[in-house]
Amino acid sequence: MNFTPESKVLIQGITEPIGATYAALMKNYGTNVIAGISPGRGGEQVEEIEIFDMVEQAVGHLGAIDTSVIFVPPYDVLDAALEAMAAGIRQIIIVTEGMPPLDMVHLVRQAEATETLIVGPNTPGIIVPGKILLGTHKSDFYTPGSVGLLSRSGTLTYEIAWQLTQAKLGQSIAIGIGSDAIVGSSFAQWLQILDEDEATEAIVLVGEIGGSSEETAAHYIAEAIDKPTIAYVAGRHAPKGKRLGHAGDIMAAQLSVGRTHQVSPVGADPDTAQSKIAAFKAANIPVAQSPSEIPDLVKKALKPSRKKK
């Protein structure tokens, strides 16, 4: 993981309306945005950021690039991500919502082969408060601190960050792993990163109904994570079979019907909030009833570990 103020950042789709908007916000936050990509617009500028037609041209002029943030339309994401990987970029954040599922399967396989970290699609990205913004997080809600925030939900991430900030609990990092049915990085992958991160003292995991990634995470936390972890699951009052997310997510989920049992370590009915909450409780992980309960649970969990210092 390399997310520092010195990290060189590229924006693919910088002339898309959302790309141009967040390029300016990222740059104003202090992110080292060194170039943008927009085929046919090479030589122009957005917010004084130079635009290139291709990623390899940007790398040729500016040297190795650490991270690409992608804002291109859904059916162009696969080509954009493969182009970034071919140019040596090993951290890719896909903000775009509704990437075709088969494109995402192909991208995940290529990422595994090249050891590339993929965050998203349909993600607000990553923020290290006070240091770097990569995506669309509402930066005013965050403050530097020691709580690692890991979430499937974009807007809930902002809300919980604000709850923590108001309780004087700053954040070491916040990651939206993405809300599409198929995403690049998993809860388990990020839990391991945060467990090894010296700036993180406690972890808040925010899940939601649909799929089985929360059950998998609960099992992994019980087996491998040493730092105190607090969980919250959105959608506890939703009817059975309901999914959160946008139309693209729902269509993608329908394509995967019947396969969720293949990845669940705890068995029946992994789509419900009740199943996920039960999995966390079985792993002795405190579960908040609402976002407002999270700060108190974090403070309670941190007390024993801080007393030992």
Among the listed residues 61, 106, 219, 246, the single catalytic one is 246
295: preceding bond cis by omega (within 30 degrees): no
Amino acid at 205: L
**203, 171 Cβ separation under 8 angstroms:** no
> Based on the number of CB atoms within 10 Å of its own CB, is 163 exposed (0-12), middle (13-18) or buried (19 or more)?
buried
* Known catalytic membership, residue 246: yes
Q: For residue 60, with 0-12 CB atoms within 10 Å meaning exposed, 13-18 middle and 19 or more buried, which class applies?
A: exposed
Q: Evaluate whether 7 touches 67 at the Cβ level (below 8 Å).
A: yes
Question: What is the strand order of the sheet 117-119 is part of?
Answer: 45-46, 49-52, 33-37, 9-12, 67-70, 91-94, 117-119
Q: State the catalytic residues.
A: 246
